[in-house]
Amino acid sequence: MRGKFIVLEGLDRSGKSTQVDRLIQRLEQDGPARLQKFPDRTTSIGKMIDAYLQSKTEMDDRAIHLLFSANRWECSKRIREDIAKGITVVADRYAFSGIAFSAAKGLPFDYCLAPDEGLPLPDVVINLSLSPEDAAKRGQYGEEKYETLDMQERTRAQFKLVAREMERRHPGRWKDVDAAGSVEEVGERIRQVVGVEVDTELGQLWM
């Protein structure tokens, strides 16, 4: 039996990384599971992305958009292989962040979607949704690019369009989960939506 491909999405400070770690620990009770972070900052493309996010280099909006996508493509072979071996892969962000953040900067939505077409299709996307007010209670934003209230609000609006596109192209896979509340409460909400039945074959994104 193949592994599942589970993606967690959401704004910065939505609690994604905490919940991804908990989810993997729970999944490992039933079988092998591993984390895949995006961006994966360990590769040579990932290092360019990291330098951009830390404002150590400047980059054209389209160039950085394509690098985020290239970073997913370079990891996609291993994702497919692991899933075929029965390993469940849990991604902390994926193409949906790619679209939402770049579209929030003003790039055309369809342009943002295009380079990820054909990537492994997640069996389920858990979108941790949190109001900007609740997010603000979780402390100051960090130093990285995009971590401003204005940018997060625009990205949040774009995530709604991404959800609509996902529902149109791949119905039933996008799950909005309320990210307000304790770590345990949010974890329980995730547990309830993650136990989906999966198709025999891993699909292709946007196809």
User: 139-148: which pairs have CB atoms within 8 A and are 24 or more residues apart?
Assistant: 139/13, 141/12, 141/13, 142/12, 143/54, 144/53, 144/54, 144/55, 145/52, 145/53, 145/54, 145/55, 146/12, 146/53, 146/101, 146/104, 147/12
Nearer to ligand NYM, 39 or 120 (CB): 39
Report whether 166 contacts 160 (CB < 8 A): no
Query: Which partner, Mg ion, ligand NYM, none, binds residue 90 by CB below 5 to 8 Å per kind?
Result: none
Nearer to ligand NYM, 2 or 38 (CB): 38
CB 42: neighbour CB atoms within 10 A? 11
Detail the DSSP E strand segments found in the chain.
5-10, 33-37, 88-92, 124-129, 174-178
92: contact with Mg ion by CB under 5 A: no
Closest residue by beta carbon to ligand NYM: 98
Q: Closest separation between CB of residue 1 and ligand NYM, Å?
A: 28
Nearer to ligand NYM, 3 or 98 (CB): 98
Query: Which partner, Mg ion, ligand NYM, none, binds residue 5 by CB below 5 to 8 Å per kind?
Result: none
12: contact with Mg ion by CB under 5 A: yes
Q: Closest separation between CB of residue 84 and ligand NYM, Å?
A: 23
The H or E element containing residue 132 is helix 132-137
Nearer to ligand NYM, 50 or 176 (CB): 50
Report whether 91 contacts 38 (CB < 8 A): yes
40: contact with Mg ion by CB under 5 A: no
Nearer to Mg ion, 50 or 74 (CB): 50
* Binding pattern for the stretch 150-189 against Mg ion, x by CB under 5 A and - elsewhere: ----------------------------------------
Residues in touch with ligand NYM (CB under 6 A): 12, 38-39, 53, 68, 93, 97-98, 101, 146
Query: Which partner, ligand NYM, Mg ion, none, binds residue 97 by CB below 5 to 8 Å per kind?
Result: ligand NYM
Distances, alpha carbon 95 to alpha carbons 68, 100, 143, 197, in Å = 8, 9, 23, 22
User: How buried is residue 15: exposed, middle or buried, by Cβ count under 10 Å (0-12/13-18/19+)?
Assistant: buried
Query: Which partner, ligand NYM, Mg ion, none, binds residue 96 by CB below 5 to 8 Å per kind?
Result: none
